[in-house]
Chains A and B, each alone.
Chain A
Amino acid sequence: MSDVDYRGIIRDGLWSNNVVFSQLLGLCPLMAVTTTATNGLGMGLATTAVLVLSNVLVSSGRSLIVPEVRIPVFILLIATLVTLVDMVMNAWLHELHKVLGLFIPLIVVNCSVLGRAESFASRQPVRAALVDGLMMGIGFTLALVLLGACREILGSATLFSGAPLLLGDHFSFLEMKLISDYKGVLVMMLPPGGFLVLGFLLAGKQLLDLRQKKAATAQFHCAVETTGR
């Protein structure tokens, strides 16, 4: 499949069409779990797994699925996947499930999974859909970790607290206490704080994008002038 633009898919997933920062999707699980960077990471990884699987499934069944009934079919597939992931983790990755178990049902309500099935996987070959799911998932994970880290630092002056529970004891070095005598800012741990932080992060991304655009157009004008139109 040489006509698939993989670099474009990767750029879209990680930056220019990022689930959180551009599409503003999946905000419900986002606000619920990003009280710490560790929680964000766990939710991000679980969502990535579901995104990849659902994209592959939808893409491989795209010739059978007709537009009129696509939404119920997609939702059925996604809900089945999430239930399976939940059961399998509970049975065979029980320690991890104790940490992530709270978040897994939230993946069903993450509209980005349905969004990718609808706008990408249902029209693209399987391999492209797989890459897209992976990249969107990684982009979502990065956004969750970034937001979680900001809220954690502002809210309780810690970073990656609880990381050994998720990643194993090797990663206990990640756990940091930045200011030892910090009273904590409660609002940052609550959903309103999440929206505040997200707003600033969005503004930051816009600023970067605008600056890049300005630089690009300036370059374009120069090029036009030197070639004499």
Chain B
Amino acid sequence: MVAWIKPSSTVPYQTLLVGGVALLASAIISIGFQLTSGDIAKRQAEDRLVSLRQVLPSAPPGDELLRNPVTVKDEAGNDVVVYRVLKDGKVDGVAYQIIGQGYSGDIVLVIGVAPDGKLLGVRTVSHAETPGLGDKIETAKSDWVLGFAGRSLSDPPPEKWGVKKDGGVFDQFTGATITPRGVVKAVKQGLEFFDAHASEMLETSNSGASGGLHE
């Protein structure tokens, strides 16, 4: 037997190899993140503006919409940023993000509400639902979310705010009930949120220099 060991079969070499690769991988990912994060944030802001515009049909062109939001605290104490369309010094519509519980995690939606409490529109911003089953909440795949426009807390009455399987008025999808159920529930809660905080959202007196922040 020859009494030498190849360096590559020693524990220090192996440790260094795994450590080195891990270090390299982290470095590559950090660089990749640095290079792409700006563009990703920009794309997401564009997406947000597009979906806000879809649920606020009367929104002016440009990014004016993003400039005078108000922050409203919800029941759990979280800040909700409410984007508003101002027309002749009055609020013509508000839009904010709501989150529903889907089949696989959160479904991020944005809803637009008119001052009288009627839904102007609902759009899905992001979700991780099953492709082909639960992803019909995207307008690219189905018209389903368009069915919310014009609804309010009294139309349908509260006990009918559910999918058909639960005795409500909204369609479920073939093979996916949990997804639309989560969305319907979130939209209803979104409307209740408007109901509870309408005065804060619709107030325009200090939308100027003081920044429109409410405590």
Q: Is this pair of chains taken from one and the same complex?
A: yes
Binding site for B on A (CB under 8 A): 32-33, 35-36, 39, 64-66, 68-69, 72-73, 76-77, 79-80, 83-84, 87-88, 90-92, 94, 98, 102-103, 156, 162, 165, 184, 186, 189-190
- Closest Cβ of chain A: how far from B15's Cβ, in Å? 8
In the bound complex, what is the Cα–Cα distance between A204 and B114 (angstroms)? 58
Q: Are A189 and B175 interface neighbours, CB within 8 A?
A: yes
Q: Which residues of B contact A65 (CB under 8 A)?
A: 17
Q: Is B174 an interface residue (CB 8 A)?
A: yes
- Some 8 contacts from A to B, beta carbons below 8 A apart, are A32-B131, A35-B132, A66-B17, A68-B14, A76-B25, A80-B25, A90-B43, A189-B174
Q: Are A186 and B17 interface neighbours, CB within 8 A?
A: no
Q: Are B131 and A35 interface neighbours, CB within 8 A?
A: yes
Q: Are B17 and A64 interface neighbours, CB within 8 A?
A: yes
Q: Are A190 and B175 interface neighbours, CB within 8 A?
A: yes
Q: Which residues of A contact B131 (CB under 8 A)?
A: 32-33, 35-36, 39, 102-103
Q: How many residues of B contact A (CB 8 A)?
A: 29
In the bound complex, what is the Cα–Cα distance between A113 and B54 (angstroms)? 41
Binding site for A on B (CB under 8 A): 8-9, 13-14, 17-18, 21-22, 25, 28-29, 32-33, 35-37, 39-40, 43, 128, 130-133, 135, 140-141, 174-175
Q: Which residues of B contact A36 (CB under 8 A)?
A: 131-132
- Please indicate which of the listed interface residues A79, A87, A103 has the most CB atoms of chain B within 10 Å of its own CB: A87
Q: Which residues of A contact B43 (CB under 8 A)?
A: 90-91, 94
- Specify the main secondary structure of chain A where it touches its partner: helix
Q: Are A69 and B174 interface neighbours, CB within 8 A?
A: no
Given A66-B17, A77-B25, the answer on whether A189 and B133 have CB atoms closer than 8 Å is yes
Given A35-B131, A80-B28, the answer on whether A91 and B17 have CB atoms closer than 8 Å is no
Q: Which residues of A contact B28 (CB under 8 A)?
A: 80, 84
- Please indicate which of the listed interface residues B21, B33, B135 has the most CB atoms of chain A within 10 Å of its own CB: B21
Q: Which residues of B contact A103 (CB under 8 A)?
A: 131
Partner of B32, one of A69, A87, A94: A87
- Closest Cβ of chain A: how far from B37's Cβ, in Å? 8
Partner of B135, one of A73, A90, A102: A102
In the bound complex, what is the Cα–Cα distance between A76 and B141 (angstroms)? 35
Closest Cβ neighbor of A68 among chain B residues: B14
In the bound complex, what is the Cα–Cα distance between A158 and B22 (angstroms)? 45
Partner of A87, one of B22, B40, B128: B40
Q: Are A165 and B40 interface neighbours, CB within 8 A?
A: no
- Closest Cβ of chain B: how far from A172's Cβ, in Å? 13
Q: Which residues of A contact B32 (CB under 8 A)?
A: 83-84, 87-88
Apart from the given pairs A87-B40, A91-B43, 9 other A-B contacts in the complex at a CB distance below 8 Å:
A33-B132, A35-B131, A36-B132, A39-B132, A66-B17, A72-B21, A91-B35, A92-B39, A103-B131
Q: Are A73 and B40 interface neighbours, CB within 8 A?
A: no
In the bound complex, what is the Cα–Cα distance between A68 and B7 (angstroms)? 13
- Closest Cβ of chain A: how far from B67's Cβ, in Å? 24
Q: Which residues of B contact A32 (CB under 8 A)?
A: 130-131
Q: Which residues of A contact B40 (CB under 8 A)?
A: 87, 90-91
Q: Which residues of B contact A98 (CB under 8 A)?
A: 140
Q: Are B36 and A87 interface neighbours, CB within 8 A?
A: yes
In the bound complex, what is the Cα–Cα distance between A79 and B29 (angstroms)? 10
- Closest Cβ of chain A: how far from B171's Cβ, in Å? 14
In the bound complex, what is the Cα–Cα distance between A133 and B14 (angstroms)? 27
Q: Which residues of A contact B36 (CB under 8 A)?
A: 87-88, 90-92
Q: Which residues of B contact A79 (CB under 8 A)?
A: 25
Q: Are B18 and A35 interface neighbours, CB within 8 A?
A: no
Q: Which residues of A contact B130 (CB under 8 A)?
A: 32, 35
Q: Are B8 and A66 interface neighbours, CB within 8 A?
A: yes
In the A-B complex, the 5 residue pairs with the closest CB atoms: A35-B132, A91-B36, A91-B39, A80-B25, A87-B36
Partner of A76, one of B21, B133, B140, B175: B21
